[in-house]
Structure 1
């Protein structure tokens, strides 16, 4: 009697798990594109928006933009190493499973324990960071929609801000209670939202701005703001400015957390990691360049009496560009909604990644 073809076939990722003596517990329902969508959303195009103003203030635009290039360069080495290990150990436990095996029998348990805790803390912090970013973006959208800070608009107080923050976390938790394929479909929307929205913002913002900063300012200007930041050391200021890049270029390990649910994960996992690093490297840098070229008045960006209450520098840059040309805030609000969507999808995906990390702890307890 012939054995059915379906019975003879086995997924390459599952085959690799069998070779490791690892019993698969989750269904393989994820395609390459869906895994890429979730990983891309974890990184997100506009993640650095809340930190842009502070990074710009520390040392000017040159360290911010060239710092991104330097951090991206070294991130590629981390991504390449992670991709190689992911192809050999395509497990949901990912990083701390890798640490347990690669550190050897003597140091494996300790290395795995340290990695698991650091990873958990990082992911939980990531959820909080995106909830904060989403709440801040919505706070500014409401302020501009209701008349701006100068026009008596509503600037949500801390209590309302906290309520929005908690609401986002609860929404992400509820959505992640559904099957992973539901999250995957939402993140397919996310990847198109961010790619198309990112192109619109990056291309249109400098075109809308009535005046643009010269390239010499954007790419070579270095200036300490010791009075505002309290930092007089140039090297230290540069390090603080580069933190923006470190914050943005993370999250690509999400593909590794999803490998047990992904078809052909020994191949698709590494591809998702590297492709997402590549896209965010280009889009993130281009977004920062577009913002910097579009600055109208540097000192006014930080004025607590400006239209955005000095709360979110990129929002003021966008407002100045649209109001200066069209004398209304509609375009600025549309752009801020695009940015807000990036935060929402990013928080949703980081929650998905965190759930996978924590759910597999029982295998190592």
Structure 2
């Protein structure tokens, strides 16, 4: 979209990337993220610091400046009470169904806390710093995400124009159109919109980098416990950089394979998001439910403990996980056709079936659970 607007947009002959070019860009970014994650932890930590400041400062610039740049802003009553389903664009006219689907973007954006959880093993005092990092991530994402949505909504110039296939962004990306309308309406050019979209793109880039780091650590942890095929290969640590390089590139390869259907179907991206989110959100369901039903006498709390509030919070969390996973399995476009169908249920069903068959015929005979790598007796690794 940045290139599209910078080269003239939909009304000025802008360059709109084809499916093949888009796939190549997608694959290119995955390779870049994998390469960066193959370096030493110090490099990743440095990039994470840049990411934090980029998203804080860049986010504040967008949140504060966008409503100020917009020629006019919407009223508070419009922002907080107006309801639109946009049936012309989505085929959805049911308000309850639209409310159910509204959880999708907000929950996907909470991915940051999952990354913090997967990297706790590589931090000092993980029993305290881990929970603090998770809560801090949720807090920052919630505040900045809500402020970003408000900035976009207040800056809408013409709601009906946002979904028009003849607008400057070809109706392909509503946030980009909102930003374009704001800058073009005041300055009669798209330079400011391109700059703001570059800020947003930077956030996506750093997000992809962090997600790659998190995914590799999950593969490493599972292979360390002999929980996936060819575990000795994926848990191998680079002798110099001390990172699970093989796990990084396995995640990159899987991501590229999952992206190949983009050449034929636009809904593949939605399916990938659905599968990923169900995977990481649903993964917390078992430990949360276990804590919910576990007898208090059998539970040994750590340094970071919620006390009496733990069970009510676990109940809310478990119900939220069930709701989220169910919502991500629903179609987001109607009428349901090959080009609009949500393929996440099929993909998850196939993978779960293969995993259960693997467990029934092989894995249950040798898998004994997590491998303890710390001697609790003397406190040494």
TM-score normalised by L of structure 1: 0.60
- Report how far residue 233 of structure 1 moved: 2.4
User: Which moves more between the two structures, 354-363 or 273-282?
Assistant: 354-363
Change in 2 beyond 3 A, CA 1:190/1:320: same
Aligned pair partner of 1:338 in 171, 178, 199: 199
Task: Name structure 2 gaps, 5 residues minimum.
Answer: 227-381
Task: Name structure 1 gaps, 5 residues minimum.
Answer: 1-139
Distance in structure 1 (CA, Å) of the matches to 2:58 and 2:69: 15
Distance in structure 2 (CA, Å) of the matches to 1:225 and 1:254: 34
| Partner-residue secondary structure (3-state), 1:231 | coil
Aligned pair partner of 2:162 in 298, 301, 310: 301
Aligned pair partner of 1:286 in 142, 147, 150: 147
Distance in structure 2 (CA, Å) of the matches to 1:228 and 1:329: 25
Aligned pair partner of 2:175 in 314, 334, 337: 314
Aligned to 1:104: none
Distance in structure 1 (CA, Å) of the matches to 2:4 and 2:216: 34
User: Which moves more between the two structures, 316-325 or 243-252?
Assistant: 243-252
Contact 2:5-2:194 at 8 Å conserved across structures: yes
- Report how far residue 362 of structure 1 moved: 2.8
Aligned pair partner of 1:220 in 72, 81, 84: 81
Aligned pair partner of 2:33 in 162, 172, 176: 172
Distance in structure 2 (CA, Å) of the matches to 1:228 and 1:309: 12
Number of residue-to-residue matches in the alignment:
226
- 1:244 and 2:66 equivalent? no
Distance in structure 1 (CA, Å) of the matches to 2:89 and 2:17: 25
Distance in structure 1 (CA, Å) of the matches to 2:6 and 2:93: 39
| Partner-residue secondary structure (3-state), 2:111 | coil
Map residues 51-70 of structure 1 onto 2, 5 A cutoff. none
| Partner-residue secondary structure (3-state), 2:170 | coil
Aligned pair partner of 2:135 in 245, 249, 274: 274
Moved over 4 A (4+): none
- Report how far residue 359 of structure 1 moved: 1.1
Aligned pair partner of 1:202 in 49, 58, 63: 63
- Report how far residue 272 of structure 1 moved: 0.6
Distance in structure 2 (CA, Å) of the matches to 1:159 and 1:259: 38
Deviations 1:67-88 (A, max 9, x none): xxxxxxxxxxxxxxxxxxxxxx
Change in 2 beyond 3 A, CA 1:242/1:173: same
Deviations 1:204-260 (A, max 9, x none): 000000011111000011233334322232211111122221221233022222222
Distance in structure 2 (CA, Å) of the matches to 1:145 and 1:363: 47
Aligned to 1:324: 185
TM-score normalised by L of structure 2: 0.58
Q: How much is the aligned-residue C-alpha RMSD, in angstroms? A: 1.2
Aligned to 2:2: 141
Distance in structure 2 (CA, Å) of the matches to 1:257 and 1:201: 30
- Report how far residue 179 of structure 1 moved: 1.1
Distance in structure 1 (CA, Å) of the matches to 2:99 and 2:139: 24
| Partner-residue secondary structure (3-state), 1:253 | helix
Aligned pair partner of 1:232 in 93, 107, 126: 93
Distance in structure 1 (CA, Å) of the matches to 2:214 and 2:149: 27
Distance in structure 2 (CA, Å) of the matches to 1:232 and 1:175: 44
Distance in structure 2 (CA, Å) of the matches to 1:363 and 1:229: 44
